[in-house]
Chain A
């Protein structure tokens, strides 16, 4: 039986382990290879999968993810294949699969249609980096109707009222943006991450929060899990795959998850 995203994070936190949330772009470098890579990640230590939808204008992403998603699009990725990928992954593993997508592809597909097809394929919900709660009316209804997770972001510059709103409306977890910047590995995780997590904790005693952006080492994953409910890693996994294929990706996942076992 597949657990919800929230249940996974809570049970792992309760057992003192913490969680590793891993990103991989659908269709990179091809659909089949991305499904294979994602399943390998889930089997080797990822607790929640964040499956990215390649998009032409990824303003929150650094070069590593930009290059990967550009390659996926150049290789013919189509939006509908997202659901195919989610289905194949969730058929193979019990890991909750959240789809991370910029808003226009969802809008273009139809918010209700996207929610329906995501649910039907076994997806857990959406992470929406360029959709703030203020603009999310249609998505709030569709995600309620189809019982999907919705992950909104909290940034170091978010006001207490905005963090409270993100806590109230998110389901699964609140994505705590660790730093003022775009995705990409960094030598150290900004202290701002702790402030954002503290802010989420202050606004909500029950909401989960996971820290993302700039995390690339086991030490950082462990450190983040001392105060948050999970660490989100993207660019480091994509880079590992780009440099050494599925073998390098698998060993990177094992390396980062090593102390969470």
Chain B
């Protein structure tokens, strides 16, 4: 198994492609051409690297979580701290890259979809930094469970449009963003926030996030002198996961694990475990695994984490699953919330609920690996945005009232 890193769209095996209305093809072609030119341009890479150094706060550090690891059997656990990036998650990596491309294309307006609000906040941030108009589409359900992030986006100058059609979550926000894009493609770039969607998004967004794995791989070698035995990351659309995984794809000795949201449990129909329970289909412009009924209608997903509550997944993950390079397990809401509390209490780090799926996965994985193994977890986001959900879940608000 070599050269998996070389794989680029439009297709990853049978997955990927461009299943979009003809009206969008010119914009996708323009984006692809602009991206390829920029990618080969040292001044673009230098500008992005400088932004990451002076604005994002890269490189992000690696923290060894010793007290947390003691709950995971006899393993060492390392955290790649994407939560320490400006705006609090990995999302900024992609957003800055695409904002630079927006400028190169001479476009003045960006639109974005958001589930948890992290990508929306990151997009609004980049729009403020570059003086771009920004409209964020967000499912009405998500605007309610992530009200704090709505306020953040508005404070940053973005317009947040609650989406009231369909299931009113992330998938419908993407539909609405695509409709906006078709109508405004002349001056608007769709700043898609994950490794899904039509080519070139899965490849381009992966490339922008691959800095996570490139840094982490070098940091492990420099600081500890070895590569981890396993990688762990949460997977919704799959951007933070592919960002970590990509640099390690050709390191055969490194096992790769993605953790999907099993919601209320894999034995229920209230989950978002696309790679475990979906089947191949076309959603939002790409062929990949998706949750769908027998008629090909997209099914509603469920997760306590808005960022993982998506019935599709990026095509490269579908491919990595099918060729057996990566494993994808389900983590329930309850397992994720337990891991959130455990990391908070053992390490003083409050992770996002999305990220907590990867942490819960590492706890499970640790017990199945041979003693002395090491796991590198992508700590993709911080939990500040989830305080209301967590406080309700753990009954902290009631407890305060009782005191």
CB < 8 Å: which of A103, A134, A154, A157 contacts B282? A103
Residue of A nearest to B171 (CB): A57
CB < 8 Å: which of A78, A105, A135 contacts B18? A135
CB < 8 Å: which of A57, A60, A106, A153 contacts B166? A57
CB of B166 within 8 A of CB of A155, answer: no
CB distance from B173 to the nearest CB of A (A): 11
CB distance from B190 to the nearest CB of A (A): 12
State the CA gap A130–B18 with chains docked (Å): 9
Interface string of B170-195 (1 = CB under 8 A from A): 01100100110011111000000000
B residues less than 8 Å from A63 (CB atoms) = 165
CB of B295 within 8 A of CB of A132, answer: no
Interface string of A110-136 (1 = CB under 8 A from B): 000000000000000000011110110
CB < 8 Å: which of A56, A73, A109, A162 contacts B22? A162
Given known A70-B166, A180-B182, A182-B179, contact A104–B281 (CB-CB < 8 A): yes
CB of A157 within 8 A of CB of B26, answer: yes
A residues less than 8 Å from B184 (CB atoms) = 180
Whether a CB of chain B sits under 8 angstroms from the CB of A237 is no
A residues less than 8 Å from B296 (CB atoms) = 55, 79, 104-109
CB < 8 Å: which of A70, A134, A154, A177 contacts B165? A70
Most buried by B among A57, A130, A152, A177: A57
CB distance from B31 to the nearest CB of A (A): 13
B residues less than 8 Å from A66 (CB atoms) = 165
CB of B281 within 8 A of CB of A129, answer: no
CB of B185 within 8 A of CB of A157, answer: yes
Whether a CB of chain B sits under 8 angstroms from the CB of A39 is no
CB of A158 within 8 A of CB of B25, answer: yes
CB distance from B20 to the nearest CB of A (A): 6
B residues less than 8 Å from A259 (CB atoms) = none
CB of A153 within 8 A of CB of B281, answer: no
Interface string of B324-352 (1 = CB under 8 A from A): 00000000000000000000000000000
Whether a CB of chain A sits under 8 angstroms from the CB of B19 is yes
Interface size class of A (residues with CB under 8 A): 35 or more
Whether a CB of chain B sits under 8 angstroms from the CB of A181 is yes
Residue of B nearest to A66 (CB): B165
State the CA gap A132–B296 with chains docked (Å): 19
Residue of B nearest to A63 (CB): B165
Contact residues of B between 245 and 298, Cβ < 8 Å to A: 281-285, 287, 292, 294-298
Residue of B nearest to A79 (CB): B295
A residues less than 8 Å from B236 (CB atoms) = none
Interface string of B18-43 (1 = CB under 8 A from A): 11111101110000000000000000
CB distance from B220 to the nearest CB of A (A): 40
Contact residues of A between 145 and 172, Cβ < 8 Å to B: 152-159, 162, 166
CB of A59 within 8 A of CB of B21, answer: yes
CB of A107 within 8 A of CB of B282, answer: yes
State the CA gap A73–B296 with chains docked (Å): 12
State the CA gap A107–B17 with chains docked (Å): 14
Given known A56-B297, A59-B175, contact A130–B21 (CB-CB < 8 A): yes
Residue of A nearest to B294 (CB): A108
Given known A57-B171, A59-B21, contact A73–B297 (CB-CB < 8 A): yes
CB of B22 within 8 A of CB of A177, answer: yes
A residues less than 8 Å from B171 (CB atoms) = 57
CB of A180 within 8 A of CB of B186, answer: yes
Residue of A nearest to B20 (CB): A130
Most buried by A among B18, B19, B178, B183: B19
Most buried by A among B22, B171, B184, B283: B22
CB < 8 Å: which of B22, B179, B297 contacts A55? B297
A residues less than 8 Å from B183 (CB atoms) = 180-182
Q: A152-B22, A155-B23 are in contact. List 9 more A-B contacts (CB 8 A).
A: A79-B296, A104-B282, A105-B295, A106-B296, A108-B296, A155-B21, A158-B22, A177-B22, A180-B182
6 contacts between A and B (CB under 8 A): A62-B179, A70-B165, A108-B281, A108-B296, A130-B19, A180-B186
Which 5 pairs across A and B sit closest by C-beta, in order of nearness?
A108-B296, A157-B26, A79-B295, A181-B183, A105-B296
